[in-house]
Amino acid sequence: MRPARTPSQTLTRRALGTRLAGAAAAIGFGKGAAASGMAIPAPGLDPDLRDAALRGLALAGYRGDPVAAAAADAVLARLAETDPEAALLGRIYQRLDVRPAAYWPGAVPAAAADLATLHAAIRACQPVAFGYTDLSGNETTRSVLPLALVHPPQGIKLLAWCEARRDFRQFFVRAMQDLALRDGDFSENRLALLEGLLDKESA
131-161 exposure pattern, b = at least 16 Cβ within 10 A, e = fewer: ebeeeeeeeeebbbbbbbbbbbeebbbbbbb
Whether residue 175 is contained in a domain is answered as: yes
- pLDDT recorded at residue 107: 64
Domain that residue 193 falls in: 101-202
5-17 exposure pattern, b = at least 16 Cβ within 10 A, e = fewer: eeeeeeeeeeebb
Whether residue 39 is contained in a domain is answered as: yes
For 134-188, the pLDDT digits (tens) are: 989 999 999 999 999 987 878 889 999 999 999 999 999 999 999 999 999 999 9
Q: Is the pLDDT reported for residue 42 higher than 70?
A: no
The pLDDT of 67-92, averaged and rounded, is 88
Whether residue 178 is contained in a domain is answered as: yes
Whether residue 2 is contained in a domain is answered as: no
The answer on 20 and 80 residing in a single domain is yes
What phi and psi values does residue 166 have, to the nearest 5 degrees? 55, 45
Q: Which of 153, 191, 189, 156 is nearest to 170 (CA)?
A: 156
- Residue 43: band (very low, low, confident or very high) from pLDDT cuts 50, 70, 90: low
The answer on 64 and 81 residing in a single domain is yes
Whether residue 130 is contained in a domain is answered as: yes
